[in-house]
Chains A and B, each alone.
Chain A
Amino acid sequence: MNRFFLQIYILYISTIFLTTFLLYKMELTYPEKVRRYLSKCTVGIAGCGGLGSNCAISLARAGVGKLIIADFDIVTVENLERQYYFHDQVNKLKVLALRDNILRIDPSITVKPFDLKLCSSDVIELFAGCDVIVEAFDKAEMKQMIIEAVINHLPGKPLVCGIGLAGFGKTDLLKVIRTGNLIVCGDQMSEVTETNPLTAPRVGIVANMEANEVIEILMSKFKTWNENIA
């Protein structure tokens, strides 16, 4: 008799689970499915200055589930002119401040902060598991280092770079050039000089162009993912 009740009970429980599961699947709208998909994606961000901080925030808001961020610097008052930090975060490590800001937007995001000045082998080690890598360095030498490291050691890994973004205005010069897995956002000519400083709007535009390219790359696999879970 006991066994009979147990069987009924198991049947009952499994029916509930199955119905919940099916309802859950059916109820997802397209935007929900996209967010669900993006929440499984990982993006690496090399540098957390004007490009990196703004790009990370945008990706977090868009729903990317895991962000690996690296920088060796601390937040200064000058950084607040264009980087996504706040006055009470001055003197904090950028990676930790950025992690806090991301988690304030969405606590469910996994943020892995790395406080270090990236070298070629770090790039390979930290970002090998990422779906896309964002180059968000300040110095030209560092940009060159990551491009060479990714193309030579992580072939096929999409790398989105921000090159040429100093000054203000000239919005129509900003463009995206794609060659294989290397995507370059910016005007590829505006260098930071005494008379051509970085400004929040132009840095923000390029940071968001980078984030936009990342989402486009991630979304290229959404259809297959969606068909597989359906």
Chain B
Amino acid sequence: MKILLNNRKETIESETITVNELLTLKNFTWKMLVIKINGTVIKRHEYDSLQIKEGDDVAVIHLITGG
């Protein structure tokens, strides 16, 4: 399936994928993250259950100390 990941087109091998599986697949290993799917923030407890679908717009933002 094709999704939009951080504004970039990505092709995922499987038909569906959970948020956690996507994080592992794309090597997002940071602790502090905000994940948006189609504009909605995904709550941490949903990472294992929520399925990303064809055409979804996924944004993964790493939060880093410094300001």
Contacts and interface: CB of A to CB of B under 8 A. Distances in A.
Contact of A191 (B36, B59, B61, B64): B64
A138 interface: yes
A69 to B, nearest CB: 14
B25 to A, nearest CB: 19
Contact of B34 (A52, A147, A177, A192): A147
A162 B61 CA distance: 11
B51 to A, nearest CB: 20
A180 interface: yes
A164 B66 contact: yes
Interface stretch (A87-95, A119-127, A181-189, A220-228): A181-189
A143 B39 contact: no
B64 A189 contact: yes
Interface in B27-43: 32-34, 36, 39-41
A116 B61 CA distance: 26
A148 B33 CA distance: 10
Interface in A140-164: 140-141, 143-144, 147-148, 151-152, 155, 161-164
Contact of A151 (B33, B41, B64, B66): B41
Contacts of A155: 39
Size class of the contact patch on chain A: 35 or more
A174 interface: no
Contact of A50 (B6, B59, B67): B67
Nearest to B58: A179
Given A141-B32, A163-B61, A136 B66 contact: no
B67 A151 contact: no
Interface string B50-67: 000000010101111111
Interface string B6-42: 1100000000000000000000000011101001110
Given A147-B61, A188-B61, A179 B36 contact: yes
A65 interface: no
Interface of A: 47, 49-52, 136-141, 143-144, 147-148, 151-152, 155, 161-166, 177-180, 182, 184, 186, 188-192, 198, 203
7 contacts: A137-B67, A140-B65, A144-B32, A148-B41, A151-B34, A165-B67, A177-B7
Given A139-B67, A151-B41, A164-B62, 12 more contacts: A137-B67, A138-B67, A139-B65, A140-B63, A141-B32, A148-B34, A151-B36, A163-B61, A163-B63, A163-B64, A164-B64, A198-B66
